[in-house]
Amino acid sequence: MDTNKLYDLWLEKAVIDPDLKAELEKVKGNEEEIFDRFYRELEFGTGGLRGVIGAGTNRMNVYTVNKATQGLASYVLNHGGKSVAISYDSRIKSDVFAKNAACVFAGNGIKVNLYPELMPTPLLSWAVRYLKCDAGVMVTASHNPAKYNGYKVYGSDGCQVTIEAADEILGYINKTDVFDGVKTADFDESVKNGLISYIGDDVIDNYMAEVRRQSLHPELCEKSGLKVVYTPLNGTGNKPVRRILKEIGIKDVVIVPEQENPDGTFSTCPYPNPEIREALELGLRLCEKEKPDLLLATDPDCDRVGIAVPDGDGYALFSGNEVGAMLLEYVARERREMNKMPKDPIAVKTIVTTDITAKIAEKYGVELIEVLTGFKFIGEQIGFLEKKGQQDRYIFGYEESYGYLAGGYVRDKDAVVASMLICEMAAFYRTKGKSLIEVRKEMYEEYGFYCNKLDTFTFEGASGMQKMNDIMDKMRTDYPKTVAGYKVIGFADYQASEKTDLASGAKETITLPKSNVISLYLENNNKAIIRPSGTEPKLKVYYTAVGSTMEEAEALQKKMSAEFGELVK
């Protein structure tokens, strides 16, 4: 069906949400606007759905959510499932999408466990596992701008679904007519008959107890005198993060007032991502007044956390690579010192996360496992250990994009436990007379100066995906032979599952799942990894630059960045 016919059909049938009708009327006769809304369906994959909120097949709305939910419901029933859990964040229409999804599951006879208020992503993973559900849905677009929303799907293990499961769900979605193929039930009636029920406080309390169990030195926090400024960036972290900090004895917590309460417009931080400085500006401004030891910022669904610490007259932002590496060392060293290290301990990182991790793991006798980008692959490794009765071997996992997890109680990154451990780590070093700036400096001096940076190149609209695919195809056949003066000595294509030593020609098989990722290995342990984002119209390039000083490493990274900027035009 062409885009104009789809537009006419939606204009006739899209009546559930009056906002959709108004939007469709507004773009009447505008071919470009109509085309962008209807030229494709939102892509469903292991990350679920994510897109701009609005009318059309290429938008997040009650119809695209209901269609995806019907596909997931068919999948659950086909596998003998009976129940699901649903959570949602503070984004525009998140509560509406969550309620509609609940009605579709109920219409298919599937029991729904729904949080009564917005709740973080890790608490959705926890609810799926704790309540022994067959699947879960988290309505969120994580740290995207306010115009986006999303729909993340979880399996019974509490991980985001695998490639195989996503493909099967997509098969059911494709068989579903967006208007006439969805079974739905009345929400209030479903609450009365028990098909939809609200998740109780006991589930949250037990989650918080599991988070507390990951603490190593809770006794230090109360007496350390640590002062924290915290911003939930108008998202779901406000209650659980403040609660856990209070429970471990950190009482001096100042909240950024403009970003305390839920606000789906994110009016004070249009891009609510703790990875970028702009999102932390209000927090940094409050730090100038309050002079805390630490600034914490969690993203809207509270699975990522960023920090800033005092540095001279201002505050320095730490990268996700730096925080993760420092947490791994803190956890590994203190577990060893306290005789709490399991036999044959394991840490997990993604392939785009800093290689300094390997040196830290080696020092403490920790086996390091590398996985594809996406925290579900870290969760999957915990699941493998659990099946062998060895879950306790897992001590820590992280990814460069500010996601961390200690303990296997959930299977996604968790900014609640990360916030607790970051504060505890800061309190621990404070009692030793060290600042986190000094600890970071010592880490680089011991293990080497690694500059890890990320460039993102945006390709919007209908032609954007094709442009990214063309760049990746060209990189496979015509990659650069040198980068920033360093020879390319190795090439890995994760789509072809093959890594090649360019000096000898020797090839080895990559045992990870196939993925649209290319790695270029340079002399002196430098590296560049290129991949399209799985959730946004962006091409990402991850750099590893190694120097004898951080200034040298940073200068090299800038050269690498400049050269790749030309390559991906």
Q: Which residues contact 387 (CB under 8 A, 6 or more apart)?
A: none
Nearest residue to 180 (alpha-carbon basis) of 8, 13, 4, 11 = 13
Tokens of 251: 């009482």
Nearest residue to 536 (alpha-carbon basis) of 162, 235, 150 = 150
Tokens of 311: 């540095």
Tokens of 92: 């525009």
Name beta bridge partners: 53: 60
Edge-to-edge strand order for the sheet containing 196-198? 49-52, 148-155, 135-139, 83-88, 111-114, 196-198
Q: To which residue do tokens 């505008």 refer? A: 30
Nearest residue to 215 (alpha-carbon basis) of 304, 297, 115, 330 = 330
For the chain, first and last CA: distance in Å?
A: 33
Choice among 90, 94, 125, 142 that is catalytic:
142
The kind and range of the H/E element at 287 are helix 281-290
Query: How far apart are alpha carbons 528 and 511 in whole angstroms?
Result: 20
Helix, strand, coil shares of the chain, percent, nearest 5, are 40, 20, 35
Other Cβ atoms closer than 10 A to 446: 12
Nearest residue to 48 (alpha-carbon basis) of 144, 190, 112 = 144
Rounded to 10 degrees, what is the CA torsion of 69, 71, 76, 78? 160
Nearest residue to 303 (alpha-carbon basis) of 236, 224, 350, 362 = 236
Other Cβ atoms closer than 10 A to 501: 13
Name beta bridge partners: 397: 348, 405
Q: Is 205 exposed, middle or buried (0-12, 13-18, 19+ CB in 10 A)?
A: exposed
Chain-centroid distance, C-alpha 316: 23
Does 215 qualify as catalytic in the annotation?
no
Give catalytic residues, as residue numbers: 142
